[in-house]
Amino acid sequence: MSWLNSVRNALPFVSKRETSENLWHKCKGCGQMVFTKELEENGFVCPRCDHHDRIGPTERFRQLFDAGTSAIVPAAKVPEDPLKFRDTKRYADRLKAARTDTAEPDALVNATGTIEGHRAVVGVQDFAFMGGSMGLAVGEAFVRGVETAIRERAPYIIFTASGGARMQEGILSLMQMPRSTVAIQMLHDAGLPYIVVLTDPTSGGVMAAYAMLGDVQIAEPKATLAFTGRRVIESTIREKLPEDFQTSEYYLDHGLIDMVIHRHDLRAKLATIIGYLSGQKKAA
């Protein structure tokens, strides 16, 4: 921060809302500076290059659910730091910092509500919470989301965004892969749809588990979707991969997902899919 900014921020009559850091956002897609307010009004999609910025549960629920219908599903209590893990920091300290930064209990948050009158339970992973990594809390939240959907006779929609399993929980994090698979089977046994929306980025153990088991697989445009890194694959097969490899569009072209939907159209498309798959009448 420059000397001028230091002085300006110290002045009592200058609001932080008026600083350049809050007024402008640098787009990760085109590198252009965009007014933050303009970006927010456009659903956090760059109005210049159409890059879909990452968003968390609060904003996602606001965009999806009918006004006044959403309610957060309480997070389940799970053992914290079961392995007493420490690297450069204690795992307990990392959790505390992530909760302070995001105001969320962990990387997956569920909510109930209606989407254009159709009942739904929606789970959203937040990459801002330790890279959306999957641990005990995420696994338990996924199961609780499914159980809530079964209880309410509604589809379960998951928005994935994750770097994979949470290394600080070791084998306990990997156990959430079969747990989520069993939960999805419970949903199917109840005759309810399971819909996946892949967002940027989705990778690792999440990609190898519940992210690719949907009845309908949707992705946002140009999302990075991968089990392992591009460089690892290239060094293994000793071949140069296509430029669009591990993107939503590449997956769509090769039949791995069903559709790529722009964020502006996602709410209407999900409402249509819910109606088709569940025969659900709109809530009064």
Specify the pTM: 0.90
In contact, 126 and 161? CB cutoff 8 Å:
yes
- Please report, in tens digits, the pLDDT of each residue of the chain (284 residues total): 455 556 445 545 444 445 556 899 999 999 999 999 999 999 999 999 999 999 999 999 999 999 999 999 999 899 999 999 999 999 999 999 999 999 999 999 999 999 999 999 999 999 999 999 999 999 999 999 999 999 999 999 999 999 999 999 999 999 999 999 999 999 999 999 999 999 999 999 999 999 999 999 999 999 999 999 999 999 999 999 999 999 999 999 999 999 999 999 999 999 999 999 987 656 55
Question: How do strand 156-162 and strand 216-219 relate by DSSP bridges?
Answer: unpaired
In contact, 165 and 134? CB cutoff 8 Å:
yes
Q: Which residues contact 31 (CB under 8 A, 6 or more apart)?
A: none
